[in-house]
Structure 1
Amino acid sequence: MARTRHLDFDEGADSSRFVTALARGLDVLACFHVDEKWLTNAEIASRTGLPKPTVVRMAYTLCVLGYLRQSHESGKYALGDSVAALGITMVSNLKLRRIARPYMQDLANRYDISVSLGIRNGLSVLYVENCRSGAPLSLGLDLGARIPIAETAMGHALLAVMESRERERLLAEICKDEGEQRWPQVLQTINAGCAHWRARGFTVVVRDWQTDIVGVGAAIRQPDGRVIAFNAGGGSQQVPARAVGAGGRAPAGAHGQRAGVIRAQRRGLSAPVPSPNTPAEQRVSALPRGLKRCRRSCQAKGGMRSFWPG
């Protein structure tokens, strides 16, 4: 069987292989956001930067193919069933998602938080799996939600394990989006997150993207180069920043718990559930370790080599 030729994508949109008309059509599909069903031609034109006549032609073609549908009452457009079919096929073929879910749910239940799995989507991380505890304060983001790479623990972890050329291209795109005035501060935050990853094997962001939110991130780079990121997060009352900032080191009086973790790991089990009477900061200080164990378990079951520290 003839092998498919490997393409070099470094040229990007400047390559003679790049089909601009196709890119414009995909831009139209990508401008729809979660919890936002209908858009007018003018709204699509504003978001994509395309002339309105071009949007009208693109929308017509996409409706014929089933990727958009039009309301008979308002004339507005919504994503069609063909988009759903593509998305479901892609997510269903994501093997790591199936492997990770039980570990993610266990971690969410253990610490009353939300644990998510995501992949890159432009300048965002797209949630492809999300597990929540029953806690009323757990984050309400769900499948299909997008969070900014530049401002989140999940995004910083994704950047930290990317191949260097891909990371530099992404940083250039983020720089363009942020603008010259904000970029130095944003880059400093990203570099600090990547350094934290190299030193500790996880990233932490406190109250950057959303007020009163603490996030812990980790990531896996698969053998084919795709990066899949994990995020564990909640309100600062659930995830005290001081505890997470301890980097997963056991706080005073927690050495008995650490011994229990080691014994459980030797038996192939997850860490023991902390005592209900344990103070919040003592319980949550184990969260980075829990997320790293989740990541390692997924790596082992998925048959992937290690691409990360810790």
Structure 2
Amino acid sequence: MATRDKRTPAEPVRPTRKPRPAAQASRSAVPLVYDEDDLSLRHASDRKFVWALARGLEILRAFKPGQGALGNNELTAITKLPKATVTRLTYTLTELGYLTFVKRLNKYEPAPTILALGYPVLANLRVRQVARDHMQQLANHTGASVALASPDRLSMIYVDTASSSNLTTLLLDIGSRVDMARTALGRAYLAGIDDAAREVVFAGLRKRHGADWPDLQARVEASIAEVRDRGFCFVENEWRRDVRAVAVPLVSADGGTVMAMNCGGPAFAIDRDKLIQDAGPRLVHLCRTIAPMMGR
């Protein structure tokens, strides 16, 4: 009887897996430069990042208080976006009601509808409600302007203000942005954040100020040391000539929210010694009073 040939069945051939390609930059990725902070560098390969939305918001951010209307060429220069992209975005934002086209100027300006985006933030920001009366009392007492601000990339943006009736100049309103590194307000904020967060901001400021940064950084760090020593910092003649102010960091109890508050104004209207000896300590007391109520 013939013996059946027993053979080991051949192993099935498995297809060789190709290595997964590295994440590629989105074809929609373009420079998103504002305050010298190029957002495209960290999001070029981020598939969750919606570039169309980001570009549209950059157009809205390009408008500043008191600047007036902007044309497509000006928006292209500010945002560094391609001209064709800017043209499509301004058309879309106009159709949605966020921009108004000024025909006689052939330019665009923000429409009142845009307030619908920001108002819920201000309305729900409890610290404004808690601080408002105290800010007005301090403004009346010092004859100066008092402002509450939050960080906006490399700037500080005003979320509330109070001014003495005697002060008729340098009245910055809600939404105004000021330089972070050259103002008491910005330096107070930098004193309130932790070291790791401060280094991230410093990296952006280094790009923004270039060769001026080493000297400017020394003055910023001196102001931070001043906050740690007496609770507030004093800055004059840096952001604008003949402008002086004191400022204090405003930090929530859990450290999760850091803002800043200042008191100041034009040098001809605000006495230097009064700011340092009177307004500064009062501002420190005010911020310590309202800080525990932040976020409630």
Q: Given the two structures, how large is their TM-score scaled by the length of structure 1?
A: 0.76
Q: Determine the structure 1 residue equivalent to 2:112.
A: 81
Q: Determine the structure 2 residue equivalent to 1:286.
A: 278
Partners of 1:123 and 1:148 within 8 A in 2: yes
Partners of 1:139 and 1:233 within 8 A in 2: no
Q: Are 2:57 and 1:26 aligned?
A: yes
Q: Are 2:128 and 1:97 aligned?
A: yes
AA matched with 2:194: E
For the pair shown, the structure with the greater C-alpha radius of gyration is 2
Partners of 2:127 and 2:294 within 8 A in 1: yes
Q: Determine the structure 2 residue equivalent to 1:208.
A: 238
AA matched with 1:236: A
Partners of 1:112 and 1:138 within 8 A in 2: no
Q: Determine the structure 2 residue equivalent to 1:297.
A: 289
Q: Are 2:53 and 1:53 aligned?
A: no
Q: Are 2:204 and 1:173 aligned?
A: yes
What is the RMSD of the two structures over their aligned residues, measured on CA atoms? Answer: 2.1
Q: Are 2:146 and 1:146 aligned?
A: no
What's the CA shift for 1:192?
0.6
1:28-80: CA deviation from partner (whole Å, max 9, x where unpaired): 11110101231111010011111111100111222222222212433311112
Q: Determine the structure 2 residue equivalent to 1:260.
A: none
Give the direction of change, closer, same or farther, for the CA distance of 1:15–1:244 in structure 2 (3 Å limit): farther
What's the CA shift for 1:138?
5.6
Q: Given the two structures, how large is their TM-score scaled by the length of structure 2?
A: 0.80
- Give unpaired runs (5+ residues) of structure 1: 1-8, 246-284, 305-310
- Give unpaired runs (5+ residues) of structure 2: 1-38
Give the direction of change, closer, same or farther, for the CA distance of 1:238–1:69 in structure 2 (3 Å limit): closer
What pairs with 1:1-310 in structure 2 (closer than 5 Å)?
A: 12-14=42-44, 16=46, 17-136=48-167, 139-179=170-210, 181-222=211-252, 223=254, 225-242=256-273, 244-245=275-276, 285-302=277-294
What's the CA shift for 1:116?
0.5
Runs (4 or more) in structure 1 with deviation over 4 Å come to 242-245
Looking at structure 1, the residues matched to 263 and 231 of structure 2 have their Cα atoms a distance apart, in angstroms, of 14
Looking at structure 1, the residues matched to 91 and 268 of structure 2 have their Cα atoms a distance apart, in angstroms, of 49
What's the CA shift for 1:176?
0.6
Residue 151 of structure 1 aligns to a residue whose secondary structure is coil
